[in-house]
């Protein structure tokens, strides 16, 4: 197992190769954005990543973050993924096993999962239609376990005598 530090070295060299092939310059800003992107396992929008980058280096603008994310995507280090809210999210692509997603419509939590059985069924379906799949993204929308719990907590206990009180839950 390689350590995280060594992994970043490989990924930095991939980015450098791509930057040079595109006739661009290597900058400390791009390296920092890559480092921060790799240090999180989240699914991030360019604004999310900008927020993290800004804390480390306030001189880096949103446009630079956005362009660097595009570079990372072109270099095969990042992957764009949509969760149906109209935003573009980015996740690690290099050395990342294929996985699918469950998205909580209450809190936005994204759960990653992998099922060999589902993968196999998808291939079976495709071949039944003579379809040659190149890639796929299976996404399920619903309510995560934690949100189901907090909803249940907010619900007043059923009681004939008490009037029903509507509890407003804070959006998180
Ligand atoms: Zn899959
Ligand atoms: Zn949730
Ligand atoms: Zn993911």
- The average pLDDT across 119-148 equals 94
Give the whole-angstrom CA distance, residue 80 versus residue 10. 21
78: its two tokens: 């990042």
CA-CA distance, 81 to 42, in Å (whole number)? 12
Ligand 2: centre distance to CA 90 (Å): 20
Residue 71: helix, strand or coil by DSSP? helix
Q: Which helix (H) or strand (E) holds 154?
A: helix 145-154
pLDDT tens string 47-93? 999 999 999 999 999 999 999 999 999 998 999 999 989 999 999 98
- The CA 14 to ligand 3 mean position distance, Å, reads 21
How close is the Cα of 132 to the center of ligand 2, in Å? 35
Cα–ligand 3 centroid distance for 166 (angstroms): 36
Domains and their CATH numbers in the chain: 1-96 (1.10.10.10), 98-157+164-172 (3.30.1490.190)
Give the Å distance between the CA of 138 and the centre of ligand 1: 6
CA distance 91 to 97: 12
Entry field: residues in the chain: 172
pTM of the model: 0.70
Q: What is the whole-number distance in angstroms between the Cα of residue 120 and the centre of ligand 2?
A: 29
Average pLDDT over the chain reads: 86
């Amino acid at each position: 197992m390689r350590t995280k530090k060594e992994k970043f070295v490989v990924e930095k060299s991939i980015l450098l190769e791509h930057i040079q092939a595109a006739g661009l310059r290597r900058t400390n800003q791009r390296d920092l954005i890559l480092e921060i992107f790799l240090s999180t396992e989240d699914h991030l929008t360019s604004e999310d990543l900008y927020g993290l980058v800004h804390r480390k280096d306030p001189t880096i603008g949103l446009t630079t973050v956005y362009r660097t994310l595009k570079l990372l995507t072109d270099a095969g280090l990042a992957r764009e993924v949509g969760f149906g809210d109209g935003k573009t999210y980015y996740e690690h692509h290099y050395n990342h096993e294929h996985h699918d997603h469950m998205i909580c419509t209450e809190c936005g939590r994204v759960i990653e999962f992998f099922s060999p059985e589902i993968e196999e069924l998808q291939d079976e379906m495709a071949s039944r239609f003579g379809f040659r799949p190149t890639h796929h993204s299976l996404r399920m929308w619903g309510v995560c376990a934690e949100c189901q719990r907090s909803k249940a907590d907010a619900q007043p206990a059923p009681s004939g005598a008490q009037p029903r009180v509507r509890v407003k839950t804070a959006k998180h």
